[in-house]
A and B are shown apart, each in its own frame.
Chain A
Amino acid sequence: MTTDEQDGQLVQGAKQGSLDCFGQLYHRYYASMVALAYSLLADRHLSEDSAQEAFAVACRDLQNLRCNDKFAGWLAGICRNVAKQMLRTRKELISNDHTPAADDKSEGDGVSETIRRAVWQLAPADREVIVLRYYNDLSYEQIAAVLGISELAVHGRLVRSKRKIEKILRRNGLMKDHDEKITK
């Protein structure tokens, strides 16, 4: 039985009012949703809030989900919207720059800071896959479910995104540095 089919059953249960089923879905996708929101918000606390809010919205709209097997992708859509909503609010409140303010990782060295900037320069879809992969160490299977694409496609997207990061790093002279280190 595939993850999708399992989801389908859990969704069916939840649709019929089973809080247990919904709880299982919550456990299954909470980390993914936090990562997804983080790719937009770059703030851990806000991301967690977004993820939780996304589940609340999902709860309310669950009866509208036609294809039970596509729960993860559907939930991801909700989560993106919630996160964007938060981002808008935050932008209005604070600043226009949504590059991560190195929130709780301020001890990061120069390299990390550059990479973070590089990641946030990527297109949203590329950034999503990178953050999903590295923020909470999700598996290809989990990422595939959330993005609604195949694991192979996840791999492809990851490789492409990493190449783009590489390019950015090279432009910033970082890769060269590193190349030299290796060739020494």
Chain B
Amino acid sequence: MTKKSQNNDWLDEAISKAICGQQAIPDFEKWKSVHPSAVEYLRAFAGKTKNFTTWRMVMKNRITKLAVAAIILAVISGIYHFNGSIDGANTAFAQVVEAFQKMSCMRMVGTKTRIREKAPRTIDSWTCFDTKTKIVKDMDGKVSLWNYETHEQFEYSPDTGKITVSQMPEGSSLKRMSPSDLVDELIQMGKKKGSTIERKEGTFNGSHVEIFDLTMTDGQNTGKIQLRVDPQKNLPIAGEWQTFEFDVNVDNMSVRFEYPQNAPKDLYDVGVPRTAEIVRAEQPMIRGRLVNAKGQPVKGIVDFGVEKPLATNESGEFSFLVPAWFNDTMQKQIGYARNLEKTLSRGFLWGGKKEQAELKIVLEPSVRITGRVVDAESRGLDDAKVELWVAMPSGGWTNISNNPWQMKKEGEGRFTFEDVPVGLPMDVHAEKPGFQGRTPMAVVAGATTVTLKDIVLKPLPGFEEKTQWNARLSGRVLDEKGNPMPRLEVHIGVGTITFNDTTNSRGEYTLTGLPQGKKIQGSVYADGYGHTMFRVVCDTPNKNFDIQIFPQGYELCNKPAPGLFVEKWLNSPPITLEQYRGKVVLLQIGVYLQTSTQELEKMKGLLRRYGDKGLEVIAVHMRLENLDWAGKVTEEMILDFIKSHDIKFPFGIDDKSEKVRDKVSNGRLVGNGAMYALYNVKATPALYLIDKKGIVRISPKRDDINEWIEKLLAE
């Protein structure tokens, strides 16, 4: 046997040697020049065949996303809305709709420019109506495919080089399965907003087109849509969408539409390398059944609080595939189940483990909770907000999303919650500005009606009965250069009461109902800027307060890096920044295993991409002793993670912050660690790029990190 195979090897080699030719290298350009008539012949068919594959058009304008369909249909809805008001437009549009509905696949290519974003985003997506798939190519190379027929989701990430397959939630569907679905949706939208439409003739890329101009406005925001339609094919070929806030142009989107005859069938058709490894996302399956107290099966509904509620089958059985996006390393979640008549129910805990789970849920009669909210003199208060809260296993409180109970107010501060599921630790919270009250926590069970003691509203800690809750705080949020920053949320929390507003295009915010004369604390978050905390006292009823925020790492930039303070290196000998001179270092501080796994994956991707060009990555985990806001982390867990995710870059645990007491002002010392304090982390995990000379250059944002790495590597 061995001899034979050796023979074959020898023969292989010999034949190869004997007849191996010079590599035949195809030279199509040369072929074209030698065979002009063949080329001519082929070209003669361009446009002659009836079904021309794609229309490709080059659009010079800036373009953006927002579903082609949305644009088209916004226009269509405009026509419906102004039925008969524009001569000819109706017929014209009916033709467009008809032509459009014949298309099985639509590709949208374009760009979207936002006022706050430096670079425009590209848009590239395919919606295939007949195969019920949607493919979206992201700027950073991620490609996702959703198959709404098999309910599978494929996600390719260039960072990991893998295709992750996961199951989409049962019942999810391509909302806009055909343009006509969108019409309905947009008619509703159009009705709410005043819209006008105008039909014009014009040219596009040198050919004659019809242009439909649609304007919708609600006074503050204005949307302008321009759609160019090919009059011969009756199909939209390009669209532009502009959004204005007052008179400021905040969003621009421009797309062109293609109708490929051969729709992409899989990720490979849109450029994902065939070498990409295919992995199944870890999706634990939870199975179970509902029974009543006698053990008989009950048909009902189960809500895991993560996706839409599930319906059980006739025998009360259900199965729930935990969605891949749901981070199951997090703490336990609360769910509830009930029968169809809502008379029986039960709350339960689930999750926290990766293995499969088997749940037997015994339903009991739902509970009715009644009580009264009163002031210090036992007078009933009708203006208080009353909520039923559920205690989280981790110690916090939550409102169940799509909660199953109803609240009724019956005057004089009386309230009733109907259909409350048994088995959950619950608490009634009542509040009005400046005041709050609550009942002690109790697991609801064993009775069909629970009558609570009166809930007495008391002033919030640090506030008095006489505190005036009527101050108005307004101002602007400005960046480091003093430019207004739109679309940021300004948040103030006083006790359990929160105040939020989003800045408009001029960076302005307004919060009302704040306490007068008291110091209150708030925060603003922006990508790249992290969380900026501020303190303010509303000493007048109308307080003006501008908030200036600085990019993360702003005060460190262009200065030598403050060094590494690491208690323990988990997968490498101790390192210093000095040994990385001549390399570009990406320092990741404030890693928290429970929430940063994706960020760590991203680091791996960057290292794979730039590692051989001189990039080094160092990750530093927060100190472990104070971490429990999303679940405890132990050293073993990190080591496990390093091993299972094959992390090669140095990974350490932050040192005690006392070590850097002399280097930072005391106010910034935090329990999260020395580096956390020293590098002034404002959002976790924070990234810092250190150049070849050891100078901190920037804390890069998600959208410019590659650009910065390339820039520093080239220096």
Q: Which A residues have a C-beta under 8 Å from some C-beta of B?
A: 1, 5, 9, 12-19, 22-23, 26-27, 30-31, 34-35, 38, 44, 47-48, 51-52, 55-56, 59-60, 62-63, 104-105, 108, 111-113, 115-116, 119, 130-131, 134-137, 162, 165-166, 169, 175, 178-179, 182-183
Contact = CB atoms under 8 A, between A and B. Distances in A.
B52 A31 contact: no
Given A30-B24, A52-B35, A115-B14, 9 more contacts: A1-B266, A56-B38, A119-B18, A135-B19, A162-B8, A162-B15, A166-B7, A178-B10, A182-B3
| Chain B interface, >50% SS class | helix
Interface residues of B, number: 46
B26 interface: yes
Contacts of B24: 30-31, 34-35, 47-48, 51, 136
Interface of B: 3, 6-8, 10-12, 14-26, 28, 31-32, 34-35, 37-39, 41-49, 51-53, 261-262, 265-266, 268-269
A52 B34 contact: yes
A83 B605 CA distance: 51
| Chain A interface, >50% SS class | helix
Contacts of A55: 31, 35, 38
Contacts of B25: 30
Contacts of A34: 21, 24
B14 A111 contact: yes
Contacts of A14: 42
Contacts of A30: 24-26
Nearest to B8: A162
Contacts of B53: 12-13, 16, 18
A48 B27 CA distance: 11
A159 B48 CA distance: 47
A112 B19 CA distance: 8
Given A17-B48, A18-B53, A108 B7 contact: no
A63 B46 CA distance: 12
A42 to B, nearest CB: 9
Contacts of A13: 53
Nearest to B48: A17
Nearest to A102: B18
A130 B15 contact: yes
B11 A165 contact: yes
A15 to B, nearest CB: 6
Given A16-B53, A134-B20, A182-B7, A119 B15 contact: yes
Given A1-B269, A17-B47, A62-B42, A178 B7 contact: yes
B21 A35 contact: yes
Contacts of A116: 18-19
Contacts of B266: 1
A27 B7 contact: no
The 3 A-B residue pairs with the shortest CB-CB distance in the complex, in nearest-first order: A17-B46, A30-B26, A59-B38
A132 to B, nearest CB: 11
A62 B46 CA distance: 13
Nearest to A111: B14
Nearest to B26: A30
Contact of B49 (A16, A59, A60, A183): A16
A18 B46 contact: yes
Given A1-B265, A52-B34, A136 B45 contact: no
